[in-house]
Amino acid sequence: MRKKRLGSGKKGGKPGPHQTIDEMVAELKGLGRPDSDYRKRSLEIHGLICAKCAREFDEKTRHLLTVHHKDGNHRNNPSDGSNWENLCVYCHEDEHSRGTLGDYLSGHEDK
Ligand SMILES: [Zn+2]
Ligand SMILES: [Zn+2]
């Protein structure tokens, strides 16, 4: 037995826009910060793949791939990419959580 209920619940139609187009464009432009330049280069050099878990990314998901600085110095950006490592956001977080493992363990009990 199935009852189909159409039209109940969703009424009104007009979604109140939270942003104007102009605001959205401004926000998008904000993503093009100077530091995204090395990111672009690193993705070009190392490819759209996580160096740790080998997860692959494409144009649609590349925002989930981040650039890790092997020596931890964000100003050390050799153009050959030798200081960069492409890590997905999960692996990147993991990478950095090792440095503050004490913090991590005290505030966070693992399953
Ligand atoms: Zn990964
Ligand atoms: Zn990093």
- The CATH number that applies at residue 39 is 3.40.1800
**Quick check: is 7 in a domain?**
no
- Ligand closest in space to the Cα of 92: 2
Asked if the structure places residue 3 within a domain, the reply is: no
As for how many domains the chain has, the answer is: 1
User: What is the pLDDT, as a whole number, of residue 102?
Assistant: 47
Which CB contacts under 8 angstroms, 24+ apart, belong to 66-72?
A: 66/39, 66/92, 67/38, 67/39, 67/42, 67/43, 68/92, 68/95
DSSP calls for 63-101 = GGEEEEETTS-TT---TT-TTEEEEEHHHHHHHHHTTTH
Instruction: For residue 4, tell me if it sits in a domain.
Output: no
Domain annotation covers residue 10: no
Question: pLDDT per residue over 18-51, tens digit each?
Answer: 667 776 666 666 544 555 689 999 999 999 999 9
Q: How far is the CA of 77 from the centre of ligand 2 (A)?
A: 13
User: What is the pTM (predicted TM-score) of this model?
Assistant: 0.58
Residue 44, domain extent: 35-107
Centre of ligand 1 to C-alpha 103, Å, is 22
- Is residue 6 one of the residues assigned to a domain? no
Residue 83 — very low, low, confident or very high, per pLDDT cuts 50/70/90?
very high
